[in-house]
């Protein structure tokens, strides 16, 4: 079970002010080195904010490399960062501890980046993994640019240019995916948990998750049998497991069905020590998919 931060108690213990939704944050000129101070809940939002804001922003990622973001527990220092930020970026429902902190500390200075996107329904509610469709990343960048321009109008041209650059990169990435995946033997994308719905929909696959939206949930024996049947009936050659999550279930099912297991990165966070970024990891995913889905 995940532990959530008890915000009031934490603030009192450390002598931090407990700010409400109507609290004020430092202006852009009061932020670090005169930059707009952005707190991103996890990696893809850090990437988008940094790309859009460039040298005009300072971006802090709440989820350290190697940490599974679903399991994030906030320290008192991180609660304080949320409280003092000019802008907080998150996906509502993805990280409950972050949702709680924003509700109490930064409700008037936060963007749920999924709010204006067309969301998919999963087995246990709305699918939060919006960033795996590059078109959604482009839309997220535009939302960030609009809010940043309101915070720091003097840098509005920087934010517009950054958003345009992100859109260009995401458009090119989408084109690269569609070209490489235009002719594949298998359209069943069998994954360890339902993290790839947006990627599947964008590029013509049907996601089959061994587990649902929660990567910690153990699949039932009945679910394992059902997915094994899908694998055999559709001659699926590859079952995908994720970075930051134990691959045992996917590897077990692959061994039972004669398929191979391969890593597909949901980009919820970078692995510790990684030198990659959103774009390079998505291209690695594309190479994996082209082989695993038997694309010509």
Please name the helix (run of DSSP H) or strand (run of DSSP E) that holds residue 184, with its range, or none. Answer: none
Please give the tally of structural domains in the chain: 2
- Averaged pLDDT, 120-132: 91
Instruction: Answer yes or no: do 148 and 54 share one domain.
Output: yes
Q: pLDDT for 78-101, tens place per residue?
A: 999 999 999 999 999 999 999 999
* Structural domain boundaries, residue 39: 7-19+26-176
What percent of the chain stands above pLDDT 90?
80
Q: pLDDT for 175-202, tens place per residue?
A: 999 999 999 999 999 999 999 999 999 9
Residue 7: is its pLDDT beyond 90?
Answer: no
- Averaged pLDDT, 24-41: 68
Q: Which residue has the tokens 């359209």?
A: 187
Residue 2: is its pLDDT beyond 90?
Answer: no
Q: pLDDT for 222-279, tens place per residue?
A: 999 999 999 999 999 999 999 988 899 999 999 999 999 999 999 999 988 899 999 9
Mean pLDDT computed over every residue of the chain: 89
Which 3 state secondary structure label does DSSP give 180? helix
**Phi, psi torsion values for 223, nearest 5 degrees:** -65, -40
Asked whether 47 and 278 are in contact (CB, 8 A), the reply is yes
Q: Tokens at residue 260, please?
A: 């191979």
Of the candidates 176, 207, 232, which is a domain's last residue?
176
- Averaged pLDDT, 107-136: 95
Answer yes or no: is 273 within a domain: no
Instruction: Answer yes or no: do 55 and 142 share one domain.
Output: yes
With a CB cutoff of 8 Å and minimum separation 6, the contacts of 295 are 180, 181, 182, 183, 184, 185, 289
CATH number at residue 261: 3.40.50.1980
Residue 30: is its pLDDT beyond 90?
Answer: no
Q: Tokens at residue 254, please?
A: 């692959």
Nearest CA to 174 out of 132, 128, 141, 233 is that of 132
Can you give the pLDDT at residue 117?
Answer: 98
Of the candidates 176, 196, 222, which is a domain's last residue?
176
Largest CA distance in the chain: 61
Can you give the pLDDT at residue 32?
Answer: 63
Instruction: Answer yes or no: do 80 and 143 share one domain.
Output: yes
Distance CA 257, CA 231 (A): 7
């Amino acid at each position: 079970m995940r532990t959530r931060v008890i915000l009031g108690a934490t603030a009192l213990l450390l002598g931090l002010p407990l700010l409400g939704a109507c609290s004020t944050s430092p202006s852009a000129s009061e932020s670090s080195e005169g930059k707009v101070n952005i707190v991103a809940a996890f990696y893809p939002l850090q990437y988008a904010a940094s790309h859009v804001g460039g040298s005009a922003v300072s971006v802090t990622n709440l989820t350290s490399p190697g940490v599974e973001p679903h399991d994030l527990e906030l320290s008192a220092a991180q609660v304080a960062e949320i409280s003092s930020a000019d802008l907080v970026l998150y996906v509502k429902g993805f990280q409950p501890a972050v949702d709680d902190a924003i509700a109490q500390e930064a409700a008037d200075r936060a963007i749920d980046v999924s709010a204006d996107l067309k969301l998919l329904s999963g087995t246990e509610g709305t699918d939060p993994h919006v960033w795996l469709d590059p078109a959604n990343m482009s839309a997220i960048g535009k939302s960030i640019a609009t809010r940043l321009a309101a915070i720091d109008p003097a840098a509005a041209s920087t934010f517009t240019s950054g958003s345009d650059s992100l859109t260009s990169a995401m458009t090119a990435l989408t084109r690269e995916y569609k070209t490489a995946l235009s002719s594949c033997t298998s359209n069943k994308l069998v994954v360890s948990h339902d993290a790839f719905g947006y990627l599947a929909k964008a590029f013509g696959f049907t996601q089959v998750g061994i587990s649902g939206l929660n990567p910690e949930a153990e699949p039932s024996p009945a679910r394992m049998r059902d997915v094994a049947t899908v694998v055999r009936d559709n001659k699926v050659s590859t079952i995908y497991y994720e970075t930051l999550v134990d691959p045992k279930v996917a590897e077990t099912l692959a061994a039972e069905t004669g398929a191979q297991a391969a890593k597909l990165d949901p980009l919820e966070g970078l692995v510790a020590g990684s030198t990659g970024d959103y774009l390079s990891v998505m291209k690695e995913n594309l190479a994996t998919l082209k082989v695993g889905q038997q694309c010509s």
